[in-house]
Amino acid sequence: MAFRPSIPPGSSARPPAINLPPLTLALLGVEDRALTFAEVRGVLDPLLDYVERRALPTTSGDLDLRTDDGLDRTLEALARSGVVRQFAEGLEPVYGIRPERHLEAAFYRNAAVHFFINRAITELILARAAEGPSPRLPDEAWEQALRLRDLLKFDFFFARKQAFSGEIRAELALLDPDWEQRPAEPESARELLASAHPHIAHAVLRPFFEAYEIVAERLTAKDPEQPIDDKAFLAECVGVARQYVLQKRIRSPESISRELFGSALRLAANRDLLEPGRPDLRARRLAFAEEVRAEVRRIEVVRDLVLAEAEPEAGSR
């Protein structure tokens, strides 16, 4: 599986020669909140733990983000590049992604986002199971994993179903080796999700599902007896997304993406939702929109966990 990263046109930023994906993923996960050094450490370390448990590849010569010196130099490099704002005129320095440089931070993160997609899917599986009622978690997990795999198949390359099943089972086993014996009650899934550090579904998948939601929403507004003009439709989606970002109806500027809208439109075509005059087309478009909306709601559940964990605490570095 692989996501095609992109950098905003006209950007002058270039990635410093350091391991940026984990740090930018962690900082993007707290949205526009600025963090103290200790708070950065608090959101970064669980992500580094995950990288180590999964034995994910790292770049040779990377600064060691495990050390305070390495993290300090990494934050300074991001501040010099203008991606991170460092504010040091209060009680202690705080760090956060500059709003106008959000897309460049996302570019650094996207260089490795494919390593985290299965973990993000696993968190959404647990968020769905926590809604209840549901069958035993193993059955629910596999059904949800396949459904999310299908939703995202035009933006990520996934392993074949048998291998993909093994990957998702391995992700769940990282959270709880006995997950298959867990009771079917929603509370059990909520507990497992709450303890699933790090939480990354919102930082990895929000741009995709927000873009898909816009496409699905605009499809429901179209006359099912009339053909869709792809070029005009995508332009409309861009305009609506820009409006929604200004209104804070969607949270991620990355969602304003013709590439992501195009993927969603291909998904809609794959589900026979574009050809006019098809049986029950309006109802099926509405069902598609609700399916995507449900994933956006689950992403919000994960986001809320992260922001609650990032609440400022007494003390400093």
pLDDT at 43 over 80: yes
pLDDT at residue 5 greater than cutoff 60: no
- Which two structure tokens, joined as six digits, stand for 26? 């962690």
Task: Classify residue 24 by its DSSP letter.
Answer: H
Q: Percent of the chain scored above 70 by pLDDT?
A: 87
Mean pLDDT of 133-145: 74
Buried b (16+ CB within 10 A) or exposed e, 123-134: bbbbbbbbeeeb
**CA-based diameter of the chain, in Å?**
64
Q: How many CB atoms lie within 10 A of CB 296?
A: 17
* Cα–Cα dist 77/41, whole Å: 16
pLDDT of residue 273: 97
> Is 8 a residue whose pLDDT tops 50?
no
The owner of tokens 């099943």 is: 165
Angle made by CA atoms 21, 103, 206, in degrees to the nearest 5? 75
Query: pLDDT at position 21, please?
Result: 79
pLDDT tens track for 182-194 = 776 788 889 999 9
pLDDT at 238 over 70: yes
- Please list, in sequence order, all residues whose beta carbon lies within 8 angstroms of the beta carbon of residue 229, skipping any fewer than 6 positions away: none
48-52, 299-303, 306-310: segment of lowest average pLDDT:
306-310
Of residues 114 and 138, the one with the higher pLDDT is: 114
Higher-pLDDT residue of 202 and 17 is 202
- As a whole number, mean pLDDT of residues 201-210 equals 93
- Residue 100 near residue 38 (C-beta atoms within 8 A): no
Which parts of the chain fold into alpha helices (H)? 21-29, 37-53, 68-81, 102-110, 117-129, 137-151, 161-175, 186-194, 201-220, 230-246, 258-270, 281-309
- Bridge partners (DSSP) of residue 202 are none
Q: Judge residue 221's burial from the number of C-beta atoms within 10 Å of its C-beta, 0-12 exposed, 13-18 middle, 19 or more buried.
A: exposed
